[in-house]
Amino acid sequence: MWLIGELKENLFGLMWANRADYFLMPGVVLAMFVSPGGVHGSSVELWFDAVVYGNYAFYVVAWCLVILLILRPWRPRSNAPSSP
């Protein structure tokens, strides 16, 4: 019984860890191009900076787009008569 409970708890923890990794994906994609060796490459500091700044830039742009879509002024419709 102990083993089943332990597996269930660890799988739940892994599920949340995988979901958190999805939020890091934009920065990781940028880091793959900037430092192809990744964490084990020759420039680990460059990889870490690329992940952090890549995520920052992506989410700033994403939130700006969301805010612009929400606050976008609605254009008034023209009063021209419609064709028959």
**How many separate domains does the chain show?**
1
Instruction: Determine, yes or no, domain membership for 7.
Output: no
The DSSP 8-state label assigned to residue 36 in this structure reads T
| Residue listed under structure tokens 């680990």 | 44
Q: Which residues of 19-48 are buried (b: 16+ CB within 10 A; e: fewer)?
A: eeeeeeebbeebbeeebeeeeeeeeeeebe
Query: pTM for the full model?
Result: 0.63
Q: What is the pLDDT of residues 52-83, one digit of tens each?
A: 999 999 999 999 999 888 887 765 556 656 66
Instruction: Determine, yes or no, domain membership for 4.
Output: no
The DSSP 8-state label assigned to residue 41 in this structure reads S
Task: Single out the residue of 43, 17, 18, 47 nearest to residue 32, CA to CA.
Answer: 47
- 30-47: average pLDDT: 82
32, 38 Cβ separation under 8 angstroms: yes
Instruction: Determine, yes or no, domain membership for 15.
Output: no
